[in-house]
Amino acid sequence: MTKFKMNRTQFMLLTALNMLGSGILMLPAKVAQVGGIGLLSWFVVCLAAVAMAYAFANCGIYSKYRLGGLGAIAENAFGMPGSFLTNYIYAFSVVIANVAIATTAVGYLLGIFGIQADLGVVQCLTIALLWLSTLVNFAGVKAMGRLSAVTIWGILIPLLFLICAAPFSFDAQLFAQNWNPRDLSMQTAVTATAPMMFWAFLGLESACANDDSVDNPEKSVPKAVLAATLAVAVIYVGSTTLTAGLLPESELVDSGAPLFVIFVSLFGSTASRILAVLLFLACVGSLVTWQFTMYRVFMTSARLGYFPALFKRVGRTGVPYMGLFILCIIQTLLVPFMPVSNLFSQFDLLVDISVITNVFPYFLCMAATFVVVRRAGLQGVKKVCVEAAALGSLIFIGWYFSLMDGDVMKFATIVFFLGIAFYGLFVAKDGSTELPEQ
């Protein structure tokens, strides 16, 4: 276990920044593609996110196994194979998701200065950003906590300006025009926007994934999960509802920097660039903290014997330099395989891929919640609330799976079966489900 720890406030801010970093930046464009009717997805997605947060929080308190991140929760019900699959798929998802976050930051940077860049330039900038975020992580755990406390203001300040100014420019008639310009059914609109909205909440579980990097995790993890998720839900719903009544949806569709377009309409060019630069820096900060989460997942899994030992060999700041270096090389190799040149479409595809892989660990953890509750001996209202949250989360995840197209599901299935093969080839020794000695 590392001696370098965050305090509870830093840990909560890191969790919130993991959710807010890139999620908020692209939501106006996604809503504009469907129309304001897509905002109805928030009722489903926010409820599911809070339910998952509540279940994760209680699993963090009552889980039998402390070391292991999300895999420690799945371990309660599915033993070592479930723990391995959870950490393996989650690690894979984070690697992909971080490329999507870097793509978002690049889109905003180009949008700020009105630059029309070809695919090669976009890829080079994305790679540079990935390496920058990796090198910053060499500073260690405490530095990441301080960074989260600073960079989250890059999101909060622009959003504060938006929330204060937008009501004075909000046009109810324009909101009505933007409500359903494509004459979609409610079901179609909700299913079209739900994946991007759920992506915006990815990170609610990162407190559990990083539970060995905070002081007093039994108390800090649950508070971080719940407080961060509730605060982020309020921010998402308020900001996207306001922006739907500020500009015609045609001005935001497929935009690489939709919030910048909105800021220009409210504050003019100069002030908007300042606010957009803050958002860009916050998105970079989010990428840094997600790279932090990525290497912590790999490091924890290596300590459990799931991944190669080089991922657990740390330097003087508690960072596995060689492991983090190799992970960034892998991300660099992924960038040229981005299949489309439109930044928003590219981001949309990466979101689908990273989320569909991420919900596998969610599903295993939510299913394991019932075992955690029984082992902890919870009774009465508390037991009912935790199990209801887990059951609702399982239903939502099942519904979410039904929204994905065939290619994305095929990709996720291949990742899942590869995980089973890797477990049999490299991890399982004698069929034992006991964790190795730490």
Instruction: Give 433's pLDDT tier (boundaries 50, 70, 90).
Output: very low
The three-state secondary structure class of 56 is: helix
Q: Decide: helix, strand or coil at residue 214.
A: strand
Average pLDDT over residues 383-407: 91
Q: What is the pLDDT of residue 369?
A: 95
With the C-alpha atoms ordered 84, 90, 95, 96, is the resulting torsion angle positive or negative?
A: positive
Give the model's confidence band at 78: pLDDT under 50 very low, under 70 low, under 90 confident, else very high: very high
Which residue shows structure tokens 């979410």?
A: 400
pLDDT band at 109 (very low <50, low <70, confident <90, very high): confident
pLDDT-derived band of residue 388, with 50, 70 and 90 as boundaries?
Answer: very high
| C-beta separation of 200 from 16 below 8 A | no
Say which amino acid occupies 370: F
Tens of pLDDT, residue by residue over 188-203, are: 998 888 888 888 888 7
Domains of the chain (ranges, CATH numbers): 8-426 (1.20.1740.10)
Residues 6+ apart with CB under 8 A from 174: 245, 246, 247, 248
For range 134-143, the mean pLDDT = 84
Q: What is the mean pLDDT of the chain?
A: 84
Percent of the chain surpassing pLDDT 70: 89
Which tokens go with 54? 């509540």
Query: Mind listing the pLDDT tens digit for each residue in 224-245?
Result: 788 888 888 888 898 889 888 9
Torsion sign across C-alpha atoms 168, 228, 223, 381:
positive
Closest CA to 23 of 229, 189, 326, 304: 229
| Section 316-330 average pLDDT | 91
Q: What is the mean pLDDT of residues 403-429?
A: 88
pLDDT at position 1 is 43
Q: pLDDT per residue over 235-275, tens digit each?
A: 889 888 988 899 998 888 767 678 888 999 999 888 988 98
Is the per-residue pLDDT at 183 higher than 50? yes
Q: Determine if the pTM surpasses 0.75.
A: yes
The yes-or-no verdict on residue 36 having pLDDT over 80 is: yes
